[in-house]
Structure 1
Amino acid sequence: MRKDLYIRLERISAWCGVVLLIGFIAAFGAGGILTPMSPTKSPADIATFLQDHRTGILWCTVIMVLTVPFEYPYVVVTSLQLKRVEGGWGLLSMIQLTTGVVAPLGFFFPLAILSAAAYRPDIHSPDVLAAMSDTFWLMLVGNACIFVLQVWSIGYAAFIDRRERQVFPRWYGWLSVVLGVLLIPGAFVYLNHSGPLAWNGVLANTIPSLTYFVWKIATPYVLLKAIRSEERELAGTAESEPLTV
């Protein structure tokens, strides 16, 4: 592959992160679920919410179905940059790649359940709708800690990179480590109906969500800088030399 084409594809993949961020905000905003409902809401209140937000929830799922596939080039280009740190495919780049590949499922499956509840809310009892809503929030928030190793692998790479121009800056490494730590409390939503560890709590949801959005803004930025430095490195090699990924 020509080096200029390879770099262009990497840049497009990095910009996919911006598409994802915009898509997430638009989707969850349309569905009225940017802020989680309380786990203590009654089945009647949940049924009313689903009926009132039916169109928005269904559009949320449509937007996510169209947006989430952009996660794949975004994850791959991140692993390609980790590969530069490791000097080839290694443990960190493969951990990031494999955990990132399953990340879209953390949105698809919960949203499919919520959409099924909102699709025909008039034919289900409030108890059934409440159970489906509970499943959505428990899966969406509770399974986020699965991706702790994904962000920690990136953070660790920033700490071990000894090159003069680091692929990932040290501050981004710390941001990734902090995000990984903040995702862990999500595992405890299954045990709590209220308080900071409930699915709408400050520890399980609010702080991790805010940090996640900061991370989603920072990642395309550092990727684009890393790709620029890679372009300079490739420019120093002979034009006739084939590029091996």
Structure 2
Amino acid sequence: MEHARYMRLQRGSAWCGFVLFVGFLAAYSVGNLLSPMDPTMTAKDAVDFLTDNQTGILTAVAIMVLMVPFEYPFVVVTSLQMRRIEGGWGLLSMTQVLTGVVAPIGFFFPLAILSAAAYRPEAHSPDVLLAMTDTFNLMYVGNACIFVLQVWSIGYAALIDRRAKPIFPRWFGWLNIVLGIVLIPGAFVYLNKTGPFAWNGAFAYMLPSVAYFIWKVATPTLLLRAIKHEEAETAGQRAGQEETQLATP
């Protein structure tokens, strides 16, 4: 493949991160899902929520189905830039790409369950609908831990990069480490209905959501910068090779 075409593909893949951010934000806004449900809600509360937001929830899931494929080029280009740090495919870049490919399951499966509940709420008993909304919230918040190794591998790669011009700045490495830490409390939503570790709590939901949105903007921005540096680096190497060839008798 021509180098220029390859770099365009990398830039397009980095822009997929912004597409995902806007798409996710639009989907969850339309579905009234930005604010978490109350873990202590009753069966009637679940029915009312699904009935009042039926169109929004189904529209949100449709948007997410369209958005999820953009995750894959975004994940791959992230590992391609990490590969430059490792000097080839290594443990960190491979861990990131493999966990990143699995990560959309954390969004899609819970939403599929919620859409099934909202699709025909009149056909199910309130208790069944309550169980389905519980499943959505428990999976959506509780499964956040699947991102931990992904972001930690990115963060560690950024921190060990000793280039004069690092691929990613060190603060981005620490952002990934912190994000991985704040995702861990999601595992405790299965044990709590109230408090900071409930699925609407500060530790399980609020802090991870803030950190994730910061990460979702910072990552494609820094990927575009890294790709620009790679392009300039390659151009410099080619210029050096041409000078060497001209100087050779």
The code of the aligned residue for 1:10 comes to: Q
2:40 counterpart residue number: 40
Q: Give the TM-score, by structure 1 length.
A: 0.96
1:146 Cα deviation (Å)? 1.5
Q: Distance in 2 between matches of 1:211 and 1:36?
A: 16
Q: Distance in 1 between matches of 2:177 and 2:155?
A: 6
1:183 counterpart residue number: 183
The 5 Å alignment of 1:1-245 reads: 1-238=1-238
Q: Distance in 2 between matches of 1:55 and 1:113?
A: 15
Q: Would you say the 8 A contact 2:10–2:77 is kept in 1?
A: yes
Q: Distance in 1 between matches of 2:223 and 2:87?
A: 17
Q: Distance in 2 between matches of 1:188 and 1:35?
A: 19
After superposition, the C-alpha distances for 1:215-238 in whole angstroms (9 at most, x for unaligned) are 101001110110011001111233
After superposition, the C-alpha distances for 1:160-181 in whole angstroms (9 at most, x for unaligned) are 1011000010010010000000
Q: Distance in 2 between matches of 1:55 and 1:118?
A: 8
After superposition, the C-alpha distances for 1:12-34 in whole angstroms (9 at most, x for unaligned) are 00000000000110001110011
2:246 counterpart residue number: none
Q: Would you say the 8 A contact 2:106–2:146 is kept in 1?
A: no
For the pair shown, the structure with the greater C-alpha radius of gyration is 2
Q: What SS does structure 1 have at the residue aligned with 2:219? A: helix
The code of the aligned residue for 2:53 comes to: H
Q: Would you say the 8 A contact 1:3–1:234 is kept in 2?
A: no
Q: Distance in 2 between matches of 1:177 and 1:85?
A: 17
Q: Distance in 1 between matches of 2:109 and 2:204?
A: 20
- Aligned pairs, how many? 240
- Percent identity reads 67
Q: Distance in 2 between matches of 1:45 and 1:232?
A: 57
Q: What SS does structure 1 have at the residue aligned with 2:237? A: coil
Q: What SS does structure 2 have at the residue aligned with 1:193? A: coil
After superposition, the C-alpha distances for 1:142-197 in whole angstroms (9 at most, x for unaligned) are 00012101000011011110110000100100100000000000000000001000
Please give the root-mean-square deviation of Cα atoms over the aligned residues, in Å: 1.0
Q: Distance in 1 between matches of 2:87 and 2:213?
A: 30
Q: Distance in 2 between matches of 1:105 and 1:203?
A: 22
The code of the aligned residue for 2:103 comes to: A
1:203 Cα deviation (Å)? 0.3
Q: Would you say the 8 A contact 2:43–2:129 is kept in 1?
A: yes
Dislocated runs of 4+, deviation >6 Å: none
Q: Give the TM-score, by structure 2 length.
A: 0.95
Q: Distance in 1 between matches of 2:232 and 2:90?
A: 23
Residue segments in structure 2 that go unaligned for 5+ positions in a row: 242-249
Q: Would you say the 8 A contact 1:31–1:56 is kept in 2?
A: yes
Q: Distance in 2 between matches of 1:163 and 1:97?
A: 22
2:244 counterpart residue number: none
The code of the aligned residue for 2:12 comes to: I
